[in-house]
Amino acid sequence: MAKKLVIKLTAGADAPERCSQAFTVAAVAVASGVEVSLWLTGEASWFALPGRAAEFELPHAAPLPDLLDSVLAGGRLTLCTQCAARREITEGDVLDGVRIAGAQVFVQEAMGEETQALVY
């Protein structure tokens, strides 16, 4: 099993099942002791902002704020630099614990030894 899991989430409320799946996998991996790095890109970028996860609803899915909190507590949460810029999101806007980084950092993480990368 990979010792590190890098997940890139490209969907938000526009594709709720895909969005929820990515957060669920990330939270379960954190709970299982896997080192997790979850990247928010595209419409998922909005979940880096306070209160946005609470607006998300999907029947029969774990509450997104709980999943997000799990990832923040035990993993790393990154907002894509370009995605943030396109949405005029700055470091001062995001939740505590969220970093903003670009493709170079993503590639570096995804290519690490014993790392599995997933894209949702």
Read off the pLDDT of residues 13-61 as tens digits, 9 standing for 90 and up.
999 999 999 999 999 999 999 999 999 999 999 999 999 999 999 999 9
Distance CA 43, CA 13 (A): 7
Distance CA 30, CA 6 (A): 11
In this prediction, residue 1 has a pLDDT band, given cuts at 50, 70 and 90, of low
Convert 62-102 into a string of H (helix), E (strand) and C (coil): CCHHHHHHHHHHHCEEEEEHHHHHHCCCCCCCCCCCEEEEC
Q: How many CB atoms lie within 10 A of CB 53?
A: 19
